């Protein structure tokens, strides 16, 4: 070793190193990855605190790439960016902790293996060998790993096994219960699907206006204080996926504690267990070593692909991709790379693409339809939406949920801006809804967007000429915009009734607002003064979201007829 500067380590005499190869550096054997090789010199990025490393220390190649041990026990667990378990780590994270494969608490744990194949069968990668029933809220399937195929020479009988024990011999090679997966390489699949199936998030502004399809990528850019993390946590809690991978990448420790705490308390309505049992948390908080933060994004998506291959719909939530990009930038700067925009390396866009493009709804090697949906937060410095990470991300995602500071400041949460967001799959998702019993979905969406745009335009006009100068019809539109914003789009994450919203209740709330607006327009046409209408009590409309149960569309419709009757009486 010849040079140490923070996470950058240079070594000499490492002639046979390959790129991305993992090394154990110095007396504490901290992990480092090869990022450049020149002659006998190599540059490494270290994944841990490099304090105490000296010129002359030895770096030993491990022969492998950065990888994580995937197997039963991931669900409900908390891991760091290098996939080392945190649940069993000490309170203070000093460097030099062992990886999962050497960690006694992981290796010594026993699982039930139940064979689902027969000796003598010929199997291919992705084929099922057995299941582990006692791991989390979904059935854990042990598959033939990528690259393996052939006759099952031996299959373990039903019984207790450890993570590293072999459970089968396929084509002459042993298959262990858990699998070491390189995290920087996408796991293979058979083919991508076209066509959109929506992911229901339980958040009205997303499900009604800016939906995301299963297997698509979405980004959430927003300055600080706009409620990014809160919204992502809501999606983690309420979206109808089988498995959630929550990657806390360079964010707050208290938030990770909050996610863990919140998910441990909430019941999973579908399985009867707790929500934490369908969740894998990768936590690399902002004060943990920076380069492990860079790895955590890839670790997270590899875990997701691992579950996808078992046939599940998985959502990866990455908070925040900006912190990941900053880790790339810091290392590139230390390495002396020429900067592109704002000091970021020139390959920023391709790195972002390599992450977001791992999303997809696919046919797995085993022939199942499954998906990985990626939702990434973006934290633009200074709220500047033209900075490189935000602009590059917009190119690679299907849905963009821009959080607006003005909305957040007026406590309109979730602060998803209707002017700055998009959903490229809106129409195909509309077609899916039409084919699945809700032909009105697409019309409701376009009417809502039009009403918002029109009322925004009128609000600007009002600031110049005053409300009283507007014609009655326009004043009702303005009021309709307010009802839509406060009665439908705003959602109280803390409320038992309002935290989650079913598709039917969302549709009913939108219809309620439209019916009220139509009734009011009717009144204006029949000569009732706009002021009279504005001063009547719309509380029941605005409170409907809070005062009716999360999936009770009928209760909302009951309110509708009550409010409409009262309006008719104004005539």
- CA dist 401 and 251 (Å) reads 19
Stretch 165-224 residues interacting with other proteins (CB under 8 A): 223-224
Pairing of the two strands 150-155 and 140-143: unpaired
Interacting residue with other proteins among 26, 68, 130, 506 (CB under 8 A): 26
Nearer to other proteins, 450 or 459 (CB): 459
Stretch 134-163 residues interacting with other proteins (CB under 8 A): none
Interacting residue with other proteins among 18, 40, 62, 88 (CB under 8 A): 88
Contacts of 386 (CB under 8 A, 6+ apart): none
Q: How far is the CB of 308 from other proteins (least distance, A)?
A: 26
Task: Note the Cα 192 to chain centre separation in Å.
Answer: 20
The size of the interface with other proteins (CB under 8 A), counted in residues, is: 84
* Short-list 206, 216, 211, 208, CA closest to 446: 208
Four-point Cα dihedral 387, 412, 472, 450, nearest 10: 50
Stretch 278-307 residues interacting with other proteins (CB under 8 A): 283, 285-290
- CA dist 174 and 166 (Å) reads 6
367 binds other proteins (CB under 8 A): no
Residue listed under structure tokens 């500047």: 384
Give the interface segment with other proteins, choosing from 113-121, 250-258, 354-362, 552-560 (CB under 8 A). 250-258
Q: Dump strand ranges (E) for 207-319.
A: 212-213, 217-221, 243-249, 279-284, 313-319
Q: How far is the CB of 243 from other proteins (least distance, A)?
A: 19
Stretch 1-20 residues interacting with other proteins (CB under 8 A): 2-6
Write the CA distances from 2 to 21, 29, 49, 333, integer angstroms: 19, 16, 17, 19
- CA dist 143 and 150 (Å) reads 13
50 binds other proteins (CB under 8 A): yes
Contacts of 178 (CB under 8 A, 6+ apart): 69, 70, 71, 72, 163, 164
Interacting residue with other proteins among 83, 163, 213, 260 (CB under 8 A): 260
User: Is 33 in a helix, a strand, or coil?
Assistant: strand
Interacting residue with other proteins among 20, 28, 274, 394 (CB under 8 A): 28
Stretch 461-500 residues interacting with other proteins (CB under 8 A): 462-469, 486, 494
Nearer to other proteins, 256 or 359 (CB): 256
Q: What is the longest distance spanned by two Cα atoms in the chain?
A: 91
Residue listed under structure tokens 């991508």: 192
Q: How far is the CB of 172 from other proteins (least distance, A)?
A: 38
Nearer to other proteins, 63 or 336 (CB): 336
544 binds other proteins (CB under 8 A): no
Nearer to other proteins, 105 or 565 (CB): 105
Stretch 313-352 residues interacting with other proteins (CB under 8 A): 323, 326, 329-330, 333-334, 339, 342-343
267 binds other proteins (CB under 8 A): no
- CA dist 347 and 35 (Å) reads 14
Q: How far is the CB of 466 from other proteins (least distance, A)?
A: 4
User: Is 38 in a helix, a strand, or coil?
Assistant: strand
Nearer to other proteins, 154 or 409 (CB): 409
Phi then psi dihedrals of residue 473, to 5 deg: -60, -45
Q: How far is the CB of 287 from other proteins (least distance, A)?
A: 4
Work out the angle at residue 403's Cα, subtended by the Cα atoms of residues 400 and 409, and round it to the nearest 5 degrees.
170
Stretch 91-130 residues interacting with other proteins (CB under 8 A): 91-96, 105
Nearer to other proteins, 56 or 120 (CB): 56
39 binds other proteins (CB under 8 A): no
What DSSP state is assigned to residue 470? S
Q: How far is the CB of 546 from other proteins (least distance, A)?
A: 8
* Short-list 75, 281, 230, 198, CA closest to 503: 198
Stretch 512-531 residues interacting with other proteins (CB under 8 A): 531
Nearer to other proteins, 126 or 380 (CB): 380
537 binds other proteins (CB under 8 A): yes
Interacting residue with other proteins among 60, 409, 473, 561 (CB under 8 A): 409
Q: Are 212 and 267 a contacting pair, CB within 8 Å?
A: no
- CA dist 41 and 13 (Å) reads 6
H runs (alpha helix) in 206-283: 228-238, 253-265
Q: How far is the CB of 305 from other proteins (least distance, A)?
A: 24
56 binds other proteins (CB under 8 A): yes
């Amino acid at each position: 070793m010849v040079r140490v500067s923070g996470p950058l380590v240079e070594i000499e005499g490492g002639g046979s190193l390959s790129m991305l190869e993992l090394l154990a550096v110095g007396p504490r054997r901290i992990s480092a990855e090869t990022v450049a090789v020149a002659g006998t010199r190599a540059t490494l990025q270290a994944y841990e605190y490099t304090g105490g490393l000296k010129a002359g220390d030895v770096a030993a190649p491990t022969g492998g790439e950065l990888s994580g041990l995937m197997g039963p026990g991931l669900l409900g667990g908390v891991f760091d960016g290098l996939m080392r378990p945190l649940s069993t780590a000490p309170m203070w994270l000093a460097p030099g902790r062992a990886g999962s494969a050497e960690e006694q608490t992981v290796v010594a744990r026993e699982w039930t293996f139940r064979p689902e194949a027969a000796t003598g069968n010929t199997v291919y990668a992705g084929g099922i060998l057995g299941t582990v029933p006692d791991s989390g809220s979904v059935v854990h399937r042990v598959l033939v790993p990528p690259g393996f195929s052939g006759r099952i020479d031996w299959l373990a009988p039903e019984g207790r096994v450890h993570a590293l024990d072999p459970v089968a011999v396929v084509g002459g090679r042993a298959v262990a219960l858990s699998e070491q997966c390189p995290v920087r390489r996408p796991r293979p699949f058979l083919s991508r699907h076209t066509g959109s199936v929506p992911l229901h998030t339980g958040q009205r502004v997303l499900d009604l206006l800016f939906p995301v399809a299963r297997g698509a990528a979405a980004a959430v850019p927003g300055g600080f204080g706009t409620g990014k993390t809160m919204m992502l946590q809501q999606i983690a809690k309420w979206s109808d996926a089988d498995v959630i991978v929550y990657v806390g990448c360079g964010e707050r420790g208290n938030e990770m504690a909050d996610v863990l705490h919140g998910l441990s308390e909430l019941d999973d309505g579908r399985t009867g267990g707790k929500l934490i049992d369908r969740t894998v948390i990768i936590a690399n908080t902002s004060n943990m070593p920076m380069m492990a933060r860079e790895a955590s994004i890839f670790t997270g998506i590899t875990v997701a692909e691992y579950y996808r291959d078992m046939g599940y719909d998985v959502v990866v939530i990455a908070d925040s991709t900006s912190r990941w990009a900053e880790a790339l930038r810091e290392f590139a700067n230390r390495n002396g790379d020429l900067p592109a925009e704002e000091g970021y390396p020139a390959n920023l866009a391709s790195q972002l693409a390599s992450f977001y493009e791992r999303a997809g709804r696919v046919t797995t090697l085993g022939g199942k339809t499954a998906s990985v949906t990626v939702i990434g937060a973006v934290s633009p410095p200074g709220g500047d939406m033209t900075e490189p990470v935000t602009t590059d991300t917009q190119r690679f995602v299907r849905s963009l949920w821009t959080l607006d500071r003005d909305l957040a400041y007026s406590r309109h949460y979730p602060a998803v801006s209707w002017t700055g967001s998009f959903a490229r799959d809106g129409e195909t998702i509309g077609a899916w809804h039409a084919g699945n019993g809700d032909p009105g979905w697409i019309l409701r969406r376009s009417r809502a967007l039009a009403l918002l745009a029109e009322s925004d335009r009128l609000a600007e006009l009002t600031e110049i000429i005053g409300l009283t100068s507007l014609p009655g019809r326009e004043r009702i539109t303005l009021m309709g915009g307010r009802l839509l914003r406060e009665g439908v789009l705003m959602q109280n994450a803390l409320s038992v009734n309002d935290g989650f919203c079913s598709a039917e209740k969302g549709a009913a709330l939108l219809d309620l607002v439209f019916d009220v607006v139509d009734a009011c327009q009717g009144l204006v046409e029949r000569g009732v003064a706009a002021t009279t209408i504005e001063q009547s009590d719309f509380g029941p409309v605005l409170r409907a979201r809070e005062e009716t149960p999360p999936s009770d569309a009928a209760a909302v419709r009951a309110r509708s007829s009550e409010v409409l009757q009262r309006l008719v009486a104004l005539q």
